[in-house]
Chain A
C-alpha cells in the first residue's frame, strides 16, 4: 500500500481549513457558519492524523478522537442555540442578530 506523502495530507488539511474559514467569514446563515466550523475542526483533525502517521505516534489519533468528541458537543450546543435564536427572532442571519453592541 503506497503511503500518501505527509505534505499532501497537510496540504489537504490547510485547504480544508481555509475553505472553512472563508465560509465562516462570508456566509451569514448561522447553520452554515456552524458547518464551516465543523470543517475547520476536521481539517485540524486531519493534520493530527497525518502528523501521527508521519512520526508513527498514536497521539495524533488520540487527539483526533478528542477533536471528534469536542465537535459533537459543539454541534449539540450550537444547534440548540440556533433553534432558540430562530424561535425568538425568526431569522438566522447573523448580521441582523447584532443587538449586543457596546
Chain B
C-alpha cells in the first residue's frame, strides 16, 4: 500500500495534464470534477497511507520510494525519490486535505469565470509541485518543488492578467521570492561541495558528525537556507510580496498564500533542523525574525481596510509564530501551528471569498457591515476561524500557539523577551480580529449582500470550521522525524497570561469598535497617530524603502543601458560583415569566363606561394 505513494503527487499532475492538453475545449461541467477529483483521490490515498504509516512503531515510520534516476554526473547523482516520515506525512495530509476542500470551494467560486479550466490546471500543478516539495528525499528535488510552487504562485496571482496591477503583483512576488531562492541555491551548492551529498537525511547525518556546532560552515549553510525560507514564507525582510499577492482569486490566497506554499519555509527549516541545531546563532536569528515579523505585521493588519490584506498580514504574523517556534527549537510546535493555521486561515480566506462573492467583489470592510444577518453560515464559520486565529481556549489555534509561547518562554536568556513579543502579538491578533469581525459582520448594512453561493462553497466552510475547532486534538506524533522538545513546566502565571492575552485584545477591540468607548476616530486625533497609521498601513514603509533602494536604481540603470552596451559589439560585427559583402558584390558579374579566369589566377597564386616560399 505504501508503494502507492508516488500516485499522491502524480494524480494532480494527471489532472493538470488533462486540463492543459484539452486547451479549454473540455465541457465546463467536467472541469471541476477533474480538477477537484484528482486532488480528492490524492487526499483519500494520503489518508489511507497515514493510517498505514501510523500503525507502525514510531521508529519504523519511514518509507522511501525511488522512482528513477533523475540525473547523474560523476559523483553527483540525484534520484527522483520520495521520503515519507511523520513530518512529510503531516504536510501531505494538510496539502491534499485542505487543498481538496479549497478545490471544491473553487468549483463554486470560479463557476462563472471564462477560464476556469486554466485555473484548475494551475491549481493542480501547484498541488503537484507542493507534494514534490514535501515528499522530496533530496534537496534538488525539494528545490524543484520549491520553484514549481513559486511558478504556480506567479501564474495564479496574475490569473486575471487583463488588469496590469495583477501582473505587477505577480512579478513582484516572483522576483522577491527569487531573491531568497538564490540564497537557498547557494546553500545547496555549499552543502554539496562540503558534505558531498544532497540527500537530506544523509546530509544531515554527515553535517552532525563532520561539522562542529557553532562553526562557520553550518552557520553559513543555515543562513543561506534561512534566506530561502524567509523569501518563501514572507518573513522579514522579504515579506513585502505577500500583501500584494492578494490580487489573485481568493481560493488561491487560501491555498497558496495561507495554507500551504507560504509555510514551505517552515517545513524547510524543520526538515533541516539538524543543520540549524548546529548553528545556534542562526537559530536565534530565526526566533528574532519570527518575533519581529509577527509584531510588525500585527500592527499592519490593524490598519488595513481590505479584508484580504488584513488576512494576508495576519498570515505573515502567524508564520512569524512558526519561525519563533523553530528558533527556540520547538520543532513540533511549529509544525503543529502550521497545521492548525492551515485549517483556520484557509477557513478565513474562504469565508472572505464568500463575502466578496456575495458583495460583487467588494473588499473594503468599511463598506460591508451587517453581514451577520445576510450571510449567517459565513458569519458563524468566520467566528470559528477568528476564534482559532486569536487562540481562544479549546480551539485548535489555542493549543498550538500556547505550546509555542510556553516553549519560547523556557528557551534560555532571551526566552522571556520572545515570549513577551509573542504575547503582545497575541493581543494584537485579538484586536485586529475583533475589528474585522465587528466592522464587517455587525453594525448597519452598507452594501446589499446577495448570498448566491451553493453547497460547494458552504460545505468546505463547515468542514474547515470543524477542523479549526477540533484540529488541536488531532496532533500527529512527529517523533522521531523531529526531536521531542521537553517543554519544562513553566509557572502557572505565565500560562495564565498567555491564555489571557487574546482576551485582552478582544476586549480592547470590543471597546473601540462596538461600544465606542474609545473610537478609532478619536484615537487618530492623538498627535502622531495619523503618521503611525500611515506607516503601519503601508507595511512599515518597506515597499517605499525597497523601491528607492533597488527598484528605482534598477529602472534608472535599465533606462541608461537602453541601447545595451554589450549588444553594440555584436551589432558592430554585423555591420562589418555587411560592409564586406557590399564590397564583394560587384565581383559577382555572372560572367562564367571571368570566374574561370579568377580560379586560374588564384591557383597560380597558390602554386607560386608553394614554389617560392
- A residues contacting B by CB (< 8 A) are 21, 24-25, 28, 33, 94-95, 97-102
Contacts and interface: CB of A to CB of B under 8 A. Distances in A.
B581 to A, nearest CB: 9
B73 interface: no
A89 to B, nearest CB: 13
Interface of B: 584-593, 596-597, 600
Given A101-B589, A101-B590, A102-B587, 16 more contacts: A21-B600, A24-B596, A25-B593, A25-B597, A28-B593, A33-B592, A95-B593, A97-B590, A97-B592, A98-B589, A98-B591, A98-B592, A100-B588, A100-B590, A102-B586, A102-B588
A12 to B, nearest CB: 20
Nearest to A22: B600
Contact of A25 (B586, B587, B589, B600): B600
A33 B597 CA distance: 13
Contacts of B597: 25
Contact of A101 (B588, B596, B600): B588
Contacts of A100: 588, 590
B593 A94 contact: yes
B600 A94 contact: no
B601 to A, nearest CB: 11
B578 to A, nearest CB: 14
Contacts of B590: 97-101
9 contacts: A25-B593, A25-B597, A28-B593, A33-B592, A97-B590, A98-B589, A101-B589, A101-B590, A102-B588
Contacts of A97: 590, 592
Contacts of B584: 102
A44 to B, nearest CB: 13
A5 B93 CA distance: 99
A36 B358 CA distance: 94
B588 A95 contact: no
Q: Which 10 A-B pairs have the closest CB atoms?
A: A98-B590, A102-B588, A101-B590, A102-B585, A94-B592, A100-B590, A101-B589, A98-B591, A101-B588, A24-B596
Contacts of A98: 589-592
Nearest to A24: B596
Contacts of B587: 102
Given A95-B591, A98-B590, A100-B590, A25 B585 contact: no
A95 B588 CA distance: 13
Contacts of B588: 100-102
A24 B598 CA distance: 12
Contacts, number: 31
Counting chain A CB atoms within 10 Å of each CB, the highest count among B587, B588, B591, B597 belongs to: B591
A50 B584 CA distance: 41
Contacts of B592: 33, 94, 97-98
Given A24-B596, A25-B596, A94 B585 contact: no
B595 to A, nearest CB: 10
A98 B591 CA distance: 5
A100 B587 CA distance: 12
Q: Which of B586, B587, B596 has the most CB of A within 10 A?
A: B596
Most chain B beta-carbon contacts within 10 A, residue among A25, A94, A98, A102: A102
A55 to B, nearest CB: 21
A82 to B, nearest CB: 12
B611 to A, nearest CB: 15
A39 to B, nearest CB: 14
A24 B600 CA distance: 11
B586 A94 contact: no
Contacts of A28: 593
Contacts of A25: 593, 596-597, 600
B594 to A, nearest CB: 9
A100 to B, nearest CB: 5
Nearest to A101: B590
A28 B591 CA distance: 10
Nearest to A28: B593
A97 B593 CA distance: 11
Contacts of B586: 102
A100 B590 CA distance: 5
Nearest to B584: A102
Nearest to A94: B592
A57 B439 CA distance: 109
A16 B600 CA distance: 15
A29 to B, nearest CB: 11
B182 to A, nearest CB: 52
A27 to B, nearest CB: 9
Nearest to B586: A102
Contacts of B589: 98, 101
A28 B592 CA distance: 9
Contacts of B596: 24-25
B554 to A, nearest CB: 47
Contacts of A101: 588-590
A33 B587 CA distance: 22
A32 B199 CA distance: 79
B599 to A, nearest CB: 10
B135 to A, nearest CB: 64
Nearest to B589: A101
A95 B589 CA distance: 10
Nearest to A30: B592
Most buried by A among B586, B588, B589, B593: B593
B188 to A, nearest CB: 57
Contacts of A24: 593, 596
Contacts of A99: 590
A59 B587 CA distance: 40
A72 to B, nearest CB: 22
A33 B591 CA distance: 13
Contacts of A95: 591, 593
Nearest to A36: B596
Nearest to A37: B596
